Amino acid sequence: MRVVALAIAAASALAATPALATPLTLNGRPPAIINHRGASGYLPEETMEAYRLSVAQKADYLEGDVYVTKDGVAVMLHDGTLNATTNVVAYAATHPEIKALVASGGKYNVTDFTYAQLMQLTATFRTANGYGTYRAGYYDAGFHYQIATLEQVADLAYQTYLDTGKMIGIYPEAKQSGLNVADAILAVLNKAKYNGYFNAAHKTVFLQSFDSNQVAYMNGLTDIPVTQLGICPTTAAQAAAIKVFADGVGPSLNQTNAACVALAHDAGLYVHPYTFLYDATVYDTYYAYGVDGVFTNFAPIAYDERTTMFPVPEPASLALLGLGLTGLAAIRRRR
């Protein structure tokens, strides 16, 4: 039955016409839109401005990478160094106390900075190696974009839920090596002020790492789903082995195809490939494979393609209606 459905899906994708009424995802719902580093196709990645734009662009999850500062604050940064995404080099030229933090090769390591020192820097677009193609009309060159904290992102997601009822989720990646980063992430998610909003039953959070030790560690600490990045199973045995310590996989686009998605699903693993950009036909192809979510820099394109292919209510709205989240609804009513 699944083979027939996949064949229909593949043919539909090739024809570039909307055809699927029922997604081939693990839970049968349309794929989740996971905004990669916030709205990073529009604004400097992993800043609060980029995450607020994610919410406005109807993303389901706010993705970002986590490091812990010298003084213990979980901050959102993809690189372990600040050179490519902040003005640190220019800033250090006139600030000797920052210049003193330089490491080998002229690099500035995130973990050598206190949070207050990081706040002095301005986050910028990534200019090296042509990583991004950014949409014009959003970036303000005179604005002091600052590095976000994980707690600020969690606050945004929770406050959006309180204000609108939409269950925006977050998707932090333990990017820094060492298990303390996982502990720091969970400490934020478990803060009392969130009233248990970030938990598995509410589908409001995923955790992720490329490091299988990190994935297994997080899986042992929490029932929040944990994603093993960088792989899509090529055999049933491999899928079963991943399922022992992870709940899903996050392969690159090149690693992902209809066969591996089916193998993963058969083992009970969800599939969230990375990274989708601005070519709408790519979304159509992977949606037809049955992927459960997409890490995208361009949420509006992911949203439009999803709406065309699966013209049903958003997953988050379905979750709110279908799961009977009376406790959370009560929280909203009390405000």
Footprint of ligand G3P (CB under 6 A): 36, 65, 78, 173, 208, 229, 250, 274-275, 295
Identity of the residue, 91 or 210, whose beta carbon is nearer to ligand G3P in the bound complex: 210
Q: Which does 46 bind (CB under 5 to 8 A by kind): Ca ion, ligand G3P, none?
A: none
Identity of the residue, 60 or 98, whose beta carbon is nearer to ligand G3P in the bound complex: 60
45 touches Ca ion (CB under 5 A): no
Q: Which does 250 bind (CB under 5 to 8 A by kind): Ca ion, ligand G3P, none?
A: ligand G3P
Measure the N-to-C terminal CA separation of the chain; round to a whole number of Å.
Answer: 48
Residue 194's identity, in one-letter code, is Y
49 touches Ca ion (CB under 5 A): no
Strands 61-68 and 74-76: antiparallel
Identity of the residue, 173 or 305, whose beta carbon is nearer to Ca ion in the bound complex: 173
Q: Which does 315 bind (CB under 5 to 8 A by kind): Ca ion, ligand G3P, none?
A: none
Q: How far is the CB of 37 from ligand G3P (least distance, A)?
A: 7
Any alpha helices (H) in the chain, and if so which ranges? Answer: 2-15, 48-56, 88-93, 96-99, 115-119, 150-164, 180-189, 212-221, 236-243, 258-266, 280-289, 299-309, 315-322, 326-334
The conformational region for residue 167 under phi > 0 = left, psi -120 to 50 = alpha, else beta, is beta
211 touches Ca ion (CB under 5 A): no
Identity of the residue, 65 or 314, whose beta carbon is nearer to Ca ion in the bound complex: 65
Q: How far is the CB of 83 from Ca ion (least distance, A)?
A: 18
Q: 333: buried, middle or exposed (CB in 10 Å: 19+, 13-18, 0-12)?
A: exposed
Identity of the residue, 66 or 258, whose beta carbon is nearer to ligand G3P in the bound complex: 66
Q: How far is the CB of 310 from ligand G3P (least distance, A)?
A: 23
Identity of the residue, 42 or 295, whose beta carbon is nearer to ligand G3P in the bound complex: 295
Rounded-to-integer distance, Cα 186 and Cα 38, Å: 20
* Residue 42: strand, helix, or coil: coil
284 touches Ca ion (CB under 5 A): no
CA distances from 178 to 62, 75, 216 (A): 23, 15, 13
What is the dihedral sign for C-alpha 155, 161, 166, 170?
positive
Q: Which does 60 bind (CB under 5 to 8 A by kind): Ca ion, ligand G3P, none?
A: none
Stretch that binds Ca ion, among 20-28, 171-179, 247-255, 301-309 (CB under 5 A): 171-179
What is the dihedral sign for C-alpha 254, 259, 264, 265?
positive
Q: How far is the CB of 275 from ligand G3P (least distance, A)?
A: 6
What is the DSSP track for 287-319? HHHT-SEEEES-HHHHHHHHHHHS-S--HHHHH
Angle in degrees, CA 97, 37, 145, rounded to 5: 40
Identity of the residue, 60 or 173, whose beta carbon is nearer to Ca ion in the bound complex: 173
**Structure tokens given for 244:** 């022992």
Q: How far is the CB of 173 from Ca ion (least distance, A)?
A: 4
Q: How far is the CB of 164 from ligand G3P (least distance, A)?
A: 26
Residue 268's identity, in one-letter code, is G
173 touches Ca ion (CB under 5 A): yes
Encoded one letter per residue, x for contact with Ca ion by CB under 5 A and - for no contact, window 59-78 reads ------x-------------
Q: How far is the CB of 96 from Ca ion (least distance, A)?
A: 33
Identity of the residue, 6 or 154, whose beta carbon is nearer to ligand G3P in the bound complex: 154
Per CB under 5 A, residues contacting Ca ion are 65, 173
